[in-house]
Structure 1
Amino acid sequence: MATPTSSLEEKLAEREEREKIVLWRRPVQTLHYFFRECGVLSVEYMVKLWNNKKIVLLLALLIGGYYAAYKTPGPHQLLFQRVENQFWWCAWWVWLGILSSVGLGTGLHTFLLYLGPHIASVTMAAYTCNSVDFPSPPYPDDIMCPDEETATGKEMSILTIMSKVRLEAFMWGAGTALGELPPYFMARGARLSGYDPDDEEMEEFEELQRLKDRPEDMSFIDRAKLSVEKLVERVGFFGILACASIPNPLFDLAGITCGHFLVPFWTFFGATLIGKAIIKMHIQKLFVIIAFNETLLAKAVSLLAFVPMVGSKLEQPFKTFLEKQKNKFHRKPGTGPDTQDGGNLLAWIFEKLILLMITYFILSIVNSFAQNYHKRIHKHARDKKLAQD
């Protein structure tokens, strides 16, 4: 039988080998493992669907009934179209929220890429039009001022703008709460089954437990993680709520802690949903709306002139960009966008930044799936060896 020392050495060697399986170091092996992992996951999910075929059949019947009613001519079609548009709009933001926190290799920062710019665009349009009664369509695809501006003698309030983006923000926050469930279920399943999963996040949690007896070896990050764990373990619902209500990169550890200590699902998910979708989203919305206040934005752009060397070169592109954005809001319905917008330097840079981050996100998923398959085959080899012994 292998000694604990040799077992640990094998585990470290295996992890070192796994970390080398990335596209920029071993492209052929990484892609091979990626497709094998996709195949394995597809089979596993097909088996799960077959085991729950009654639920699948019921959902198929409901979708089929809805589709038949949707295609049947009648006055109800208008209502169905509204429901469909609202459903896909909400589903889009929930999906972006899940991508932001689910951790498929690395999270996609969808608040910075999508929700934040959307709130900023609505804020700028609200102050420019002095109204939030944007026509729909084309809003939310392309925001334009209403034909007749309302409340022209009244200043636009922050609460009015917050209410305009409340649905999108709540759905995005709910998606981030859903993305926190995998670490919770992983740790809970491991605790109930007594199985020690070979997962980096669980190993990080276990290492933190061992460091409790050696506080002198703890780094600042370890102490921060331990404080999150203690808060969640001792305070329960309100501790989870406090951790979820602020931008917290260590919240994955809170999910693992809740799963490990068998915190009830609705206690964990309820506190996470309230914290992320309501409290934290109102804080983030408020920050973006205040930052893109018309007066503050103009002052911020004017301050760019004081930046040494490049200030004068930065100020003019920002002013041009903001001016074009305001002109777009006053465009008449049915007219195309200004063709000069595509040549704006800031818009071009932002588009390329989005493309770069999405590309990195996709590459990280490929690497993560390939490493998971490597982990899978080594686990199978260990289980087979133990069965033979």
Structure 2
Amino acid sequence: MGRGKNRRGRSKPGQGKCSPKPDTVPGTRTEIPEPNHLLTMGDTSAQKRFQRKGSKQANGSSMISSVPTLEEKLAEKQEREKIVLWRRPIQTLNYFSRECGILSAEYMIKLWNNKKSVLLIAMLIGGYYAAYKTPGPHHPLLQSVAKECWWCAWWLWLGILSSVGLGTGLHTFLLYLGPHIASVTLAAYSCNSVEFPSPPYPDDIMCPEEEVAAKEMSIFTIMSKVRLEAFMWGAGTALGELPPYFMARGARLSGYDPDDEEMAEFEELQRLKERPEDMSFIDRVKLSVEKLVERVGFFGILACASIPNPLFDLAGITCGHFLVPFWTFFGATLIGKAIIKMHIQKMFVIIAFNESLLARAVGLLAFVPVIGSKLEQPFKSFLEKQKKKFHRKPGTSPESQDGVNIIAWIFEKFILLMVAYFIISIINSFAQSYHKRKHKMERENKLAKD
């Protein structure tokens, strides 16, 4: 097979061309069946590993392949799924700490290998910090720059968390950006202005002290007020789509078949292409996304990124597998997520929290059987207190006027639960990653010994 057969077919000194070395040796297997769970698209990485193994075989001996069988993969996966905090807390925490140590060491090595760039960045940050702490006419400008940078970095980080997720994702649009846009919308209609005094904006929203002439508040005025944070959040979600792309691209270029679950969905979809009758509706939708990205290219990626699309991870894997250029993929993703989709989401939230529409929606709660009146009153109270909070005097604490609101209390606890679940999912993901790494190292050590 491949290079192994070619080497065995070569003539040695002292042998004529008519007497080639036999291709078979008694007691050895000459044909290595390809596992049926691997893809057969071109020259796959599994085939390359078999070729390398065949070229290293000695006469009368066979090396044990590092590729696990389907039964071994299933058993390993079942064992890995049990490594979670609520089943095996001690083992999970142990594996999590080990994986953190390994990743920390790997990143420290990468930083050391790029020590010149790290030193340059450290010098720039140190110079900026020294200038920031030095009094002078430049100080207000540096304060403004630092505040703006921290504000942008905060929303960028929230976007990355929402997109990467480490297996679950923290839905930061529902938890942070959506409520922020809703608060700005309510304040804009209540104050009839978006010129909120800063500080306390954006940490807190208050109406400007000057009376504003009566005019109709525009949706586009509110959209421009939240444009920066929405764009940075969208850019963070675009950055979070890069890991699946690089994973699939690296696997295709290196010829190494990753045993990650992230590729299992893509592999299964490729196998289902030959059996369309076995496809479900979801499989057909996934296949249509793949075909759109593969055939249309930039505009196909742009279309997938411009709408709320839970299957976009598959698009990233597809682009990486078919070696779509990085800037084609990232450029289309950035434009789609940070510009087109974010404007759609902003407009939806602003329209939903329009003062008149919101009042009508709260009024409709009264028609809900049994619990309608109980739901209507808390929402009305919440909206009234929000308006009072926007019109309070500077220096007045909102808690002293508002008291404790049941809706705000529930939302706060909901955020805490979501963050806690996200942290638990990170711990479980790291622990399972170490389990995968451990089994892989054991197979490689066994292969080296044999």
Partner of 1:29: 91
1:49 and 2:111 correspond: yes
1:60 partner amino acid: A
Q: Aligned-pair distance for 1:198?
A: 1.2
Indicate conservation of the 8 Å contact 2:389/2:402, yes or no: no
Partner of 1:184: 245
Distance 1:181 1:103 in 2: 12
The more displaced of 3-12 and 375-384 is 3-12
Pick from 398, 409, 415 the counterpart of residue 337 of structure 1: 398
Distance 1:205 1:217 in 2: 16
Pick from 142, 152, 158 the counterpart of residue 80 of structure 1: 142
Distance 1:259 1:333 in 2: 53
1:259 partner amino acid: G
Pick from 208, 212, 215 the counterpart of residue 146 of structure 1: 208
What does 1:1-389 correspond to in 2, within 5 Å? 4=35, 7-150=69-212, 152-339=213-400, 341-389=402-450
Can you list the C-alpha shifts for 1:54-76, whole angstroms capped at 9, x where unaligned?
11011111111111111121100
2:139 partner amino acid: Q
The more displaced of 85-94 and 340-349 is 340-349
Distance 1:91 1:57 in 2: 21
Distance 2:85 2:402 in 1: 36
Q: Which protein is bigger by CA-based radius of gyration?
A: 2
Can you list the C-alpha shifts for 1:86-121, whole angstroms capped at 9, x where unaligned?
000000000000000012131000000000000000
Distance 2:403 2:85 in 1: 33
Q: Aligned-pair distance for 1:168?
A: 0.6
Indicate conservation of the 8 Å contact 1:119/1:289, yes or no: yes
Distance 1:333 1:240 in 2: 48
1:250 partner amino acid: L
Q: Aligned-pair distance for 1:340?
A: 5.9
Please, what TM-score do these two structures have when normalized by structure 2?
A: 0.85
Q: Aligned-pair distance for 1:341?
A: 3.5
Percent pairwise identity: 84
RMSD (CA atoms): 1.3
Flag the structure with more relative contact order, 1 or 2, with Cα contacts below 8 A and sequence separation at least 6. Answer: 1
Can you list the C-alpha shifts for 1:242-292, whole angstroms capped at 9, x where unaligned?
000000000000111101111011000000000000000000000000000
Q: Aligned-pair distance for 1:236?
A: 0.3
Distance 2:139 2:151 in 1: 18
1:370 partner amino acid: A
User: In the superposition, relative to structure 1, how do residues 342 and 15 fare at CA in structure 2: closer, same or farther (>3 Å)?
Assistant: farther
Can you list the C-alpha shifts for 1:281-324, whole angstroms capped at 9, x where unaligned?
00000000000000000000000000010000000000000000
2:388 partner amino acid: N
Distance 2:155 2:169 in 1: 15
Can you list the C-alpha shifts for 1:171-229, whole angstroms capped at 9, x where unaligned?
00000000000000111111100011111111211111111001111111111111110
Q: Aligned-pair distance for 1:333?
A: 1.2
Indicate conservation of the 8 Å contact 1:173/1:276, yes or no: yes
Can you list the C-alpha shifts for 1:112-140, whole angstroms capped at 9, x where unaligned?
00000000000000000000000000000
Distance 1:386 1:217 in 2: 38
Q: Aligned-pair distance for 1:342?
A: 4.7
More helix by share: 1
Indicate conservation of the 8 Å contact 1:342/1:348, yes or no: no
2:98 partner amino acid: R
Q: Aligned-pair distance for 1:388?
A: 2.8
Distance 2:377 2:368 in 1: 13
Structure 2: 5+ residue stretches without partners = 1-28, 37-67
The SS at the match of 1:104 is helix
Q: Aligned-pair distance for 1:387?
A: 2.4
Structure 1: 5+ residue stretches without partners = none
Distance 1:80 1:14 in 2: 54
Q: Name segments (4+ residues, structure 1) moved above 6 Å.
A: none
The SS at the match of 1:247 is coil
Indicate conservation of the 8 Å contact 1:105/1:361, yes or no: no
